[in-house]
Amino acid sequence: MNDKHGFIIKFENTTPVEANQLAEELNQRLSLLCKGVCAELHKPDPHTMDLGTELFISFVQDVAVNATVAAVMAHFFREKGGNVYIFVVNVYNGSNFLVKNASEEMERELGEFLGSDKE
């Protein structure tokens, strides 16, 4: 994972089983709705038996694609409610973004964050 540039999507305030289900569901939605985005399940600890409780999204240098990813994530957050915290972590520089609501402002800020892989 260290040689890749992109983002890790983490689901906090969930069990590993719930996090895996959320990661799989978000992966399916991104695959369907965001052409050009490479997403794959990620295991934070390779020694666990789970299939992956996080999601890795490759960096995309396309403002429209990043905006679509942000919109899908905002809708996903809205659907799941305030019980799930979604953290987006930049693998390259370690910066992170907390999806804390489904507002248009948050969606815009997330789209900008997704476009800042090497800053």
d(CA 118, CA 115): 9
Number of domains in the chain: 1
Q: Is residue 1 part of a domain?
A: no
pLDDT in tens, 94-106: 899 888 777 888 8
Asked whether residue 2 carries a pLDDT value surpassing 60, the answer given is no
Q: Is residue 19 part of a domain?
A: yes
Q: Is residue 56 part of a domain?
A: yes
Is there a domain that residue 119 lies in? no
Higher model confidence: residue 119 or residue 57? 57
Name the residue range of residue 70's domain.
Answer: 6-114
pLDDT, tens digit, for every residue of 65-77? 888 888 888 888 8
Which tokens sit at 63? 């403002």
Read off the pLDDT band of 119 (50, 70, 90).
very low
Residue 117, pLDDT above cutoff 80: no
CATH number at residue 53: 3.30.70
Domain-embedded: residue 43: yes
Q: Compute CA distances 107 → 67, 90, 92, 102, 104, whole Å.
A: 8, 17, 21, 7, 5
pLDDT score for 25 = 92
| CA nearest to 89, candidates 68, 61, 51, 117 | 117
